[in-house]
Structure 1
């Protein structure tokens, strides 16, 4: 089993030059201030398909023989590899079939179909889709394009690290999202080949710790609904695991609230969209801040394909966590003027009412009373509590609720 080398990755860079965007790798002062590290971001969400997967997919497709191209290709993916294969297969005149889990966000399914690929939805997880793709490939004779456990795919993804070190030669660390391990494997080979002292740190969702467990030789359960569905992989590759054992320094497991926080930070601070998997590297910095403090850190924002509804939910949840959106409940006397008085108090204290629910027909309040739920906007937690104190000072009992 031959592993890719630095020369293989440099050859891949020549193959994709001018066919895949050389994305910006620039300083992120606001993220630096937030993490107390010197942060640079590689914006792979600016690719045509909004993810890094184009690099490896194109290297693989370019290397096919005429006979293999005639057979067509098949891939399995939760979305980004699917779009990359579909997009570049169409450009090269190759028929593409993509098998995706039924849980794949609609935005990714629609984008893949828009590139002209035949899309088959099967299974709950990427591993289920892989089994289906292998079965269909054998039955129809198509060429298998694996999303990560493939020599050409791995060396294609490694070109990201070449560009990062060309732009910032004294980079101290790279923090790379980990699913099956193709991106961190290729990047680690490239980075360590140029600068052996560069620390390669993976970021893996705690719900799917496949690579973390593989490197430690232990079994860990995988499963659950994660915002980072793009790296929700139960089975890492043989090639990628072998590479990781040689050149990956460590992997940080990140939990869902940190991924949500990272998605929110990219949008509100950097004004760019990151899907859950794309934000995993920043989530790792939030999870283990001391590891990165004071270091020159390169993050790979590897994808921006997130469902708009889900993105809106993440933003609202973060506002609630920051106590900039607050929900309260009050039991009130049912008499004229009470609602107006409460609205005036909240407004005078600087709160902005977003939603009101006034109920009289519940049994846990007196017959002559009412229950009022109010959601309001505040500047921060201290301001929110000041609004509540103004209501309490008027004699209203206030109970804070968990919103979102």
Structure 2
């Protein structure tokens, strides 16, 4: 007899909390279920639960641009680095505080984690020879309250962070002379999402009260200027050796370089003119007065489509920057907790934590690709089909 039991799949639950993600090819949706991760392949109609788990329930998942690794963080801030190829845990790490969001840069070399009122930028694991998988590069302080969301520019030069204090902060990922930080206002509620336009510093910010602000930058991405580190240039070999020494000196848990932002924009220094933003327009989602909180949002840069989910279970599709309404539908009677859109922009994933629902909607054909809901209450009975291919379950919720 064989006793080498191996975990295969988790059945009866599809989503609990946290952010949904699509795989790199856009054919599979990655969903946190309690303290585990399930992958639903929508092309082949199969599902798989990864043989890894955290101590507490998962709150956020960061997926690398190449789709090979994921960083999974639970409610306490304990993180695991997971290989999506071998399905193995590569590294354990602890952020010591609850993490609100995590996002890799488009080039895959860095990732930013937001916890409390700070944004922490780490070197992404696997891109260079390192002993520590998570090496802290910079700590960014700016918001007064808890940070909520992150987005990167397409060339990984800058990132933007939204906060509960109704402000949005743009930070430079490198030592830019004309963009260290920039603070944006304009909202009267918690920032739910902030997104850069494709290949641009122009951005959109969305708040919980259903307000969208469109911001225009006076500088292109090519216009960012690196600061001069030293007056006398050193030979390239010496520079490389010095950079390697700096990397070796940094270990896990250290603060790295600290950047502290202030409410006012930095003053221009010498010939370099700082990047400036101005508000182009402001739009409101509740024009008819059917007000309810905006709870989740995502933006697809290639098609310029903004997807917003609300506490009433309704979602909207708008085309930006004109704010033209493409589509609106009620998909649940519960709060939409997470929204994600796949790489082609065809499929939109919705997670409703109240009922444990996971939905994938194809907006062009207006049809469901995937619609599942776990038992709301205890599971009380279970039966196999005669051929052993199917399982039927019954629960205290009458389903």
- Whether these two folds match at TM > 0.5 is no
Q: TM-score, normalised by structure 2?
A: 0.27
Q: TM-score, normalised by structure 1?
A: 0.27
The structure where helix makes up a greater share of residues is 1
Instruction: Work out which of the two has the higher radius of gyration on C-alpha atoms and give 1 or 2.
Output: 1
